[in-house]
Amino acid sequence: MDFQIPPGLTELMQDFTVLVLKEKPTDLVDFAANYFTKLKEEKKQYGDKKNTSKGVKFLESFSSDDEEPEPPQHRYDRRKSVCAEAYNPDDDDSDEEQVPVNPKSKAQRERLNQAVKNILLFKSLDLEQLNQVLDAMFERKTVIGDVIIRQGDDGDNFYVVDNGVFDIYVLVDGVDKKVGTYNNKGSFGELALMYNTPRAATIIASSEGTIWGLDRVTFRKILLKAAYQKRKMHEALIENVPMLKFLNEYERMNVADALESKSFKDGELIVKQGDEADNMYFIEKGRVCVKIARQGTNEEVEVTQLSDGQYFGELALVTHNPRAASIYSIGVCRVAALDVLAFERLLGPCMDVMKRNIGDYDEQLSKLGLKNRDLR
């Protein structure tokens, strides 16, 4: 199916995005909850009438930053933009060999790898897809005053900051207002490419620097398609996990979005007995074996094996105890990891089921002549 943007969504998300860029909240979920709660209260008080600032007055009342920065010298008028066609990843069967390749030196590629490693959009890519994206990205040197993207323009490229300082400006009541800065790291420009909307802000270089660009076609062909396919795969995985039957559709979607895929080679250690618990794991493809070490020895005993669709690592997160067993990959194995913070936030409805599983696990150990104290 095509992605259709509901009326009003673009303006709503642009206002919210601007405020996030300005305030840089540490807890985005809590910040969003407070923001939309206050927005709803404002709507009840003033109705649906739009004021002349297009929501900016509300943003300023929500923000604690009253400083008015100097407007940039670059003036611009927001021009009307025609949104591009809706993008349906299921219908995209284009040839991946058409992805452009921009040659890079070893040093350039190493710098680019460092620049993209913590960007959320890139985490859904496998190694082959990541290499395609890195091949396609092009280098752009910037000088002070360069306008990288302009508010109101159509989106053409996605950018990753290698080095340099880049200021974010938004047109507020006819004045360019500085709302944030990218300082030697970060990325921008993806919203216009993802949602076929005009640029929501202007980015201006305030120092010499280097950025990496990715064209619109490649961005959609690889990044958006990979993210879409990953989410569909994780949703299907979650639907097949009995423990997660207690979650409603919205909760399952949130869990799917929070999962991060990881691959392991044959015999590779995934979880080590005695370590502090940091993740729960769902098996996407392959098998793992569960082993425990007898107290006072290095001898490990295999307890069981797990395969596609099964999960492990939840017990230590429920009990807040160290890992009770070691988990090894059997052959090449790919798992989806859910970190402890997301686990506690998203899997509350399943906690009783997971606690019951502790009894089942103790029963398995008893059959092997072991007790819980042997594992700690």
- Is 268 assigned a ligand-binding role in the annotation? no
Give the residue among 14, 339, 84 at the shortest CA–CA distance from 224.
84
- Is 323 assigned a ligand-binding role in the annotation? yes
CA distances to 45, 180, 295, 301, 374 from 298, rounded to whole Å, are 68, 54, 8, 10, 12
Distance (Å, whole) CA 29 – CA 187: 20
- Is 79 assigned a ligand-binding role in the annotation? no
Q: Which residues are annotated as a binding site for 3',5'-cyclic AMP?
A: 190, 199, 314, 323
